[in-house]
Amino acid sequence: MTTLALDPAEASFQRAQTRSAELDTEIARSPERFRVLTGDRPTGPLHLGHLFGTLANRVRLQDAGVEVLVLVADYQVIADRDDLGDLPGAVTGLLLDQLAAGLDPDRTTFFRHSAVPALNQLMLPFLSLVTVAELQRNPTVKAEAEAAGARPLSGLLLTYPVHQAADILFCGGNLVPVGRDQLPHLELTRTIARRFNQRYGQLFPEPEALLSQAPLLLGTDGTKMSKSRGNTLALRDDEDRTAALIRGATTDAERTISYQPDRRPEVSNLVLLGALCRGESPESFADSIGGRGAAALKAAVTEAVNEHLRPLRRRRAELTADPGAVREVLALGNARANELAEATLDRVRVAMQMS
């Protein structure tokens, strides 16, 4: 009898899921052993994929006593587009989304790429530790290049995972709460840390991914929910817009609602969304709809999403009234990130006999 070999991406995803469960136990036991680095590109409003893929984990880790640093990846906006758009507005919006979700600036450090030069300088030695072939093989870079359409792959998009290694390693981050699309990038960060340590002496940890229960939430069109794909349910949307978007989501022709992600990805994604918002299992949420069909499923998911987001949306409206406070949060965080980055760069220069 032959057994079907699991494809490498699926195998690494399964390993990351098993490891995430172990990490949760270790975090509960000794939160002080971990430092979290995570972040987002200021390319648009945060959505439910962010909330359930990483943001809820950020808040949970912060509340468990883990040190959390959150990057606004502003240099990476231009990896796959020529236009920065309304960057100041996008940065403020990104911070408001996260503060409204429960990240507390007294405990969590927010900073941006462009304000931390020493972080970006780490790119230089790190670029020497990877080959172009390794970068070209990265499945997430390939998918993002394809999503950008006819646009040729930029050098910045190709080297995005190396920049991300600098983001994580500059502060000695060893835990990264991410969605599934980030696993190949994190693997490269581990490779860079290992190669640096072998060549110049032990300096960096090998960070690990922490996956959530929703490592790949789909958008209303059935592909990965992404800011740049126009298929998102944004945290900051109002209830009517959320309802309209869910009404328009892709489903299938089967009347009985079930949770079968492989066979019925779109319906199962809606089921998962409703279940996560209600804090119940996808199976029991699917059973509660039963044979009432896609329209009833969509109505129940809309109610669950809007109810779950109500407190976040209320807090966001309050925070929006004080834009000065958001600027202050970023200024304080940038200062702290600069301290950490300069100390790391000094150690890198010493290790490389450049000082």
Q: Is 316 in the site for ligand ATP (CB under 6 A)?
A: no
Q: Is 182 in the site for ligand ATP (CB under 6 A)?
A: yes
Q: Is 179 in the site for ligand ATP (CB under 6 A)?
A: yes
CB of 245 to ligand ATP, least distance (A): 14
Q: Is 41 in the site for ligand ATP (CB under 6 A)?
A: yes
Q: Is 226 in the site for ligand ATP (CB under 6 A)?
A: yes
Using alpha carbons, select from 156, 181, 192, 170 the residue that is nearest to residue 40: 181
Q: Is 181 in the site for ligand ATP (CB under 6 A)?
A: yes
Q: Is 187 in the site for ligand ATP (CB under 6 A)?
A: no
Q: Is 184 in the site for ligand ATP (CB under 6 A)?
A: no
Using alpha carbons, select from 319, 335, 310 the residue that is nearest to residue 92: 319
Task: State how far the Cα of 86 lies from the Cα of 83, in Å rounded to an integer.
Answer: 9
CA 25 from chain centre, in angstroms, equals: 21
Task: State how far the Cα of 143 lies from the Cα of 128, in Å rounded to an integer.
Answer: 24
Q: Which of 169, 225, 300, 351 binds ligand ATP (CB under 6 A)?
A: 225
Question: Which residue number, 60 or 347, has a Cβ lying nearer to ligand ATP?
Answer: 60
Q: Is 228 in the site for ligand ATP (CB under 6 A)?
A: yes
Task: State how far the Cα of 77 lies from the Cα of 79, in Å rounded to an integer.
Answer: 6
Q: Per CB under 6 A, which region of 2-10, 24-32, 39-47, 82-90 contacts ligand ATP?
A: 39-47
CB of 349 to ligand ATP, least distance (A): 30
Q: Is 138 in the site for ligand ATP (CB under 6 A)?
A: no
**Binding residues for ligand ATP restricted to 46-105, rule: CB under 6 A:** 49-50, 53-54
Question: Which residue number, 77 or 243, has a Cβ lying nearer to ligand ATP?
Answer: 77
Contacts of 352 (CB under 8 A, 6+ apart): 125, 200
Q: Which of 141, 169, 178, 271 binds ligand ATP (CB under 6 A)?
A: 178
Q: Is 231 in the site for ligand ATP (CB under 6 A)?
A: no
Tokens of 59: 């808040």
Tokens of 202: 């032990």
Q: Per CB under 6 A, which region of 16-24, 118-126, 224-232, 326-334 contacts ligand ATP?
A: 224-232
Using alpha carbons, select from 87, 105, 100 the residue that is nearest to residue 42: 87
Using alpha carbons, select from 125, 109, 86, 123 the residue that is nearest to residue 39: 109
Question: Which residue number, 215 or 333, has a Cβ lying nearer to ligand ATP?
Answer: 215
Q: Is 24 in the site for ligand ATP (CB under 6 A)?
A: no
Q: Is 185 in the site for ligand ATP (CB under 6 A)?
A: no
What order of strands is seen across the sheet that includes strand 108-112? 108-112, 67-72, 35-40, 175-177, 208-210
Question: Which residue number, 160 or 285, has a Cβ lying nearer to ligand ATP?
Answer: 160
Question: Which residue number, 231 or 306, has a Cβ lying nearer to ligand ATP?
Answer: 231
Tokens of 71: 């990057």
Q: Is 40 in the site for ligand ATP (CB under 6 A)?
A: yes
Q: Which of 99, 130, 162, 217 binds ligand ATP (CB under 6 A)?
A: 217
Task: State how far the Cα of 156 lies from the Cα of 40, in Å rounded to an integer.
Answer: 16
Alpha helices by DSSP H, 71-182: 87-101, 117-121, 123-127, 132-137, 139-147, 155-158, 160-169
Give 48's Cβ-side CA count (13 Å radius). 30
**Residue nearest ligand ATP by beta-carbon distance:** 53
Length of the chain counted residue by residue = 355
Question: Which residue number, 41 or 308, has a Cβ lying nearer to ligand ATP?
Answer: 41
Using alpha carbons, select from 324, 271, 322 the residue that is nearest to residue 300: 271
Name the site residues for ligand ATP (rule: CB under 6 A): 40-41, 43, 49-50, 53-54, 178-179, 181-182, 214-217, 224-228
